[in-house]
């Protein structure tokens, strides 16, 4: 696979991830004003939307492996991502407290902790290393289980003190380091395979094994009359917290999406959007400051909420693509590159010129 092909392949996945993120947040913001039967949108949001964050984190792991950074660059990148997280929180008061850790603060923490989860991949046995890392993570999850927060959204976003902030960042928040580092490690594993011919069998095996386990868990849930999956609450698979069944199901989905992208170029049309994914992720929250009460104010039906969600998602696909094509220097991606560039990097660039 040429480097250009690989860029299109990865940027397409980034575009897909941010598209799904926008859809999930719009659907959560403009939920129907009255209870209704599950709709096609709700199933789509629950299924595909649940893969947005795992895919984002896996892509960060892939990118971190591609471009090692010195510590000065790490701190700058992490600070930038934490700052973006605060902007997101302030733009969505219906979802977060001002200092609630989220997906961007998780990414900042992953940048800082890469020596832990990333150094293991620099040898000739990436699949075995991923298995070893998974065992480490499972042991950590088991040991820290008594300190886990309840499966309730309000508890996980309420950040009343520095101690609670640290707890949410590491374990009890919406996207804590434990266990979400799992997906970053998976992305780093994929990055060790430099050619399509070597990564495709790994993705196929990962998808097949994950699908078998997930279907087995679904059958178990049906036979024991237990709810299979919920974002929060009492279910076999939960997103908040991300339990082991969720990790396996999400890994299965990420492997399938990566396989479709790398072999079928399924998402290449989203590559321009993918190159503005951070900008779109942060910016799509900004209108929520004024618009998040529209469904309550006008008593939207399920159909109206569905239309608003799809329209909002499509709008940001268009805006993100245009943003990358015509205003790259006004993007968060450009600011992040300039901000994280080390003084030594500036000197080398000047000498090269």
203, 262 Cβ separation under 8 angstroms: yes
pTM (2 d.p.): 0.91
Q: Are 156 and 173 in contact (CB under 8 A)?
A: yes
- pLDDT single digits (tens) 230-252: 888 999 999 999 999 999 999 99
177 three-state secondary structure: helix
pLDDT at 62 over 60: yes
Phi-psi domain of 127 (left: phi exceeds 0; alpha: psi -120 through 50; beta: other): alpha
CB 255 within 8 A of CB 182: no
As a dihedral over the C-alpha atoms of residue 327, residue 333, residue 339, residue 341, rounded to 10 degrees, the angle is -110
The β-bridge partners of 230 are 238
How far apart (Å, rounded) are the C-alpha atoms in residues 262 and 267? 9
Strand 229-230 versus strand 237-238 pairing type = parallel
pLDDT > 70: what percent of the chain? Answer: 88
What is the domain count for the chain?
1
Mean pLDDT, rounded, for 51-66: 94
* pLDDT digit string, tens, across residues 16-42: 999 999 999 998 888 765 555 566 656
Are residues 98 and 89 in contact, defined by beta-carbon separation less than 8 angstroms? yes
Domain span at 337: 3-352
Q: What is the pLDDT of residue 6?
A: 52
């Amino acid at each position: 696979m040429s480097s250009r092909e690989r860029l299109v392949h990865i940027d397409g996945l980034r575009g897909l991830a941010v598209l799904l993120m926008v859809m999930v947040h719009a659907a959560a913001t403009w939920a129907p004003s009255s209870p209704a039967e599950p709709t096609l949108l709700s199933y789509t949001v629950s299924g595909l939307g649940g893969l947005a964050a795992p895919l984002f984190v896996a892509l960060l792991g892939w990118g971190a492996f591609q471009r090692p950074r010195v510590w000065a660059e790490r701190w700058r990148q992490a600070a930038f991502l934490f700052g973006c997280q605060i902007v997101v929180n302030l733009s969505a008061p219906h979802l977060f407290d001002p200092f609630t850790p989220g997906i961007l603060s998780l990414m900042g923490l992953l940048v800082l902790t890469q020596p832990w989860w990333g150094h293991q991949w620099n040898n000739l046995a990436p699949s075995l290393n991923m298995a070893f890392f998974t065992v480490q993570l499972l042991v950590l999850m088991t040991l820290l289980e008594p300190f886990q927060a309840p499966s309730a959204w309000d508890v996980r976003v309420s950040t009343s003190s520095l101690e609670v902030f640290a707890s949410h960042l590491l374990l009890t928040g919406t996207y804590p380091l434990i266990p979400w580092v799992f997906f970053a490690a998976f992305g780093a594993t994929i990055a060790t395979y430099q050619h399509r011919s070597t990564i495709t069998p790994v993705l196929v095996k990962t998808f097949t094994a994950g699908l078998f386990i997930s279907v087995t868990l679904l059958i178990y849930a049906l036979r024991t009359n237990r709810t299979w999956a919920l974002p929060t609450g009492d279910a076999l698979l939960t997103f908040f917290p991300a339990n082991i069944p969720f990790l396996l199901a999400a890994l299965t989905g990420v492997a399938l999406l990566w396989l479709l992208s790398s072999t079928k170029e399924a998402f290449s049309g989203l590559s321009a959007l993918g190159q503005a994914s951070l900008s779109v992720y942060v910016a799509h929250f900004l209108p929520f400051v004024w618009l998040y009460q529209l469904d309550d104010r006008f008593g939207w039906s399920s159909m109206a909420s569905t239309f608003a969600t799809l329209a909002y998602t499509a709008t940001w696909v268009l805006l993100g693509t245009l943003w990358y094509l015509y205003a790259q220097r006004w993007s968060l991606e450009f600011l992040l590159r300039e901000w994280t560039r080390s003084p030594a990097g500036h000197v080398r660039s000047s000498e090269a010129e």
